[in-house]
Amino acid sequence: MSNQVLAGVDIGGTKTAVVLSLEPPQTLTRLAFPTCPEEGPGFAIKSIVESLKKSFSSQGLAPADLAGIGISCGGPLDPVRGLIQSPPNLPTWEEVPICHILQTEFGAPCYLENDANAGALAEAWFGAGRGANNLVFLTMGTGLGAGLILDGQLHCGSSHAAGEIGHVRLTSYGPSGHGKVGSVEGWASGGGMAQVARMYAKSAALRGEDTALSREPAIVITARDVAEAAKAGDSIARAVVRVVGERLGEAMAILIDLINPECIVVGGLALRFGEDLLGPARAIVKRDALYSSAERCRIVPAALGEQIGDVAALCAAIKGLWRVPRPSPRAE
C-alpha cells in the first residue's frame, strides 16, 4: 500500500472536506467540518491536519502511505507557490502557504488548484464530460467561475486566472457579483439568484401580490428559499429561476462562440434546479450562439453531483503527480 493513497482537501467558505482514496473517484474516508473563515486560516488548517490524521488512523494507514495531497479552493490563489490569496469567501486567508504547511506536516507533495479548474478535471475524467476534448465546467455556487479543458488540456492562462466568466458584464444594471453590477456572477450564481429574488419579491410586495417569497423580508431570501418556493409552485420563485437560467444561457452563448466546446457541465444550482434552470439556458443558447457551435455542445448538470468537490480535490493531486487517467469515450 506504500505511497498509493491520495488525500483530497476541498476548502470552501462554509465547510471543508477531507477525503482519502486509493482509486478515485471512490473514497475510503470523508470528514467535513465548518471552515469558519472569521476565525482566520489557523482554525481550518488545524482541523485539516487533525482530520487527515484521524482518517489515516481509521484505515490503519500512516502518512508514509500517502502519495500526495490535492487541494481545491476558490481563487485568487497561486498554484505554483501553493498560496491561497484572500478569496472572497475566505477574506482572512492572506497569502496562506497551504501547500508548504501540509507538505511539512505529512512529508508528501501537495498541490493546490482553483476549484473551477479542479471541477473541470473531475467532470472530464470521471463525470459528464468523459470523452470530451473541449469542455467548460461552471461552478455556479455562491459565485460563478469556469474551468476550461481545451484540446484535452487544462487551460489556466498567463496568471492562472482563465475562466473568470463571472466577471463579464451582461447588463449595465441589475445585481452585482464579482465586484461588477450586471455581471454574469451577479445574474447567474447562488448569490446572484438571491439578489434577483429580493428584487422580484420587493416588486411583488409593492404590487400587493401574496406569495411565499413576497411575504419574506427581502434581506433574508437565499437561493435555497427560491428552490423551496419554486418547488411549491410559487410564481415569483419560478420567474426568478427562469430569468437566472436565461442569463446563464447568455453567458454560455459567449463561451460557445469563443471556445467551441463539446460540452458545458454545470454544478451547483444546476443540481438543485435541473431543467427549470437549464431549459431556459438552452433556449437562449439556441437563440444567441452560432448554430454550428451550439449544435455540437451538450449542456448537462455535473454527473458527480454533491461528490464533485471531493473528486475535484483528488484530481488536483492526480494532476500534480501526473497520474492522469486516459478519458474514456462517452457512452451513447
pLDDT attached to residue 242? 97
Average pLDDT, the chain: 91
174-202: average pLDDT = 92
pLDDT attached to residue 3? 66
71-82: average pLDDT = 92
The residue assigned the cell 431556459 is: 280
pLDDT attached to residue 2? 52
pLDDT attached to residue 218? 65
Which grid coordinates are listed for 68?
500526495
The residue assigned the cell 459565485 is: 143
Burial class (CB in 10 A: 0-12, 13-18, 19+), 79: buried
Q: What is the pTM of this model?
A: 0.90
**Cβ-contact 215, 202 below 8 angstroms:** no
Cβ burial 37-75 (10 Å sphere, 16+ → b, else e): beeebebbbebbeebbeebbeeeebeeebbbbbbbbbbb
pLDDT at 296 over 90: yes
In this prediction, residue 328 has a pLDDT band, given cuts at 50, 70 and 90, of: very low
Phi/psi of residue 208, each to 5°? 85, 15
Maximum Cα interatomic distance, the chain, rounded to a whole number of Å: 67
Q: Where in the chain is the domain with CATH 3.30.420.40?
A: 5-114+307-321, 128-303
186-193: average pLDDT = 94
CATH 3.30.420.40 for domain 5-114+307-321, yes or no, is yes
Higher-pLDDT residue of 297, 210: 297
Using omega within 30 degrees of 0 as the cis cutoff, is the peptide bond preceding 79 cis?
no
Note the CATH number of domain 128-303: 3.30.420.40
pLDDT attached to residue 141? 86
pLDDT at 324 over 70: no
In this prediction, residue 292 has a pLDDT band, given cuts at 50, 70 and 90, of: very high
Which grid coordinates are listed for 315?
484530481
pLDDT attached to residue 318? 95
What is the DSSP-derived secondary structure letter of residue 74? P
pLDDT attached to residue 143? 86
In this prediction, residue 125 has a pLDDT band, given cuts at 50, 70 and 90, of: very high
pLDDT attached to residue 177? 87
pLDDT at 32 over 50: yes
Q: Write out the H or E segment, with its range, that includes residue 240.
A: helix 235-259
pLDDT at 253 over 90: yes
Higher-pLDDT residue of 330, 63: 63
Rounded to the nearest angstrom, the gap between the alpha carbon of residue 93 and the centroid of all alpha carbons in its chain is 19
Task: Return all residues near 111 (Cβ < 8 A) that are at least 6 apart.
Answer: 68, 69, 70, 71, 79, 82, 99, 316, 317, 319, 320, 321
Q: Write out the H or E segment, with its range, that includes residue 70.
A: strand 66-73
Share of the chain above pLDDT 90, in %: 77
Count the Cβ atoms, other than its own, within 10 Å of residue 107.
10
pLDDT attached to residue 171? 96
pLDDT attached to residue 80? 92
pLDDT one-digit tens code per residue, 190-248? 999 999 999 988 888 788 877 777 777 667 888 999 999 999 999 999 999 999 999 99
CA distance 111 to 103: 9
pLDDT attached to residue 303? 95
pLDDT at 274 over 90: yes
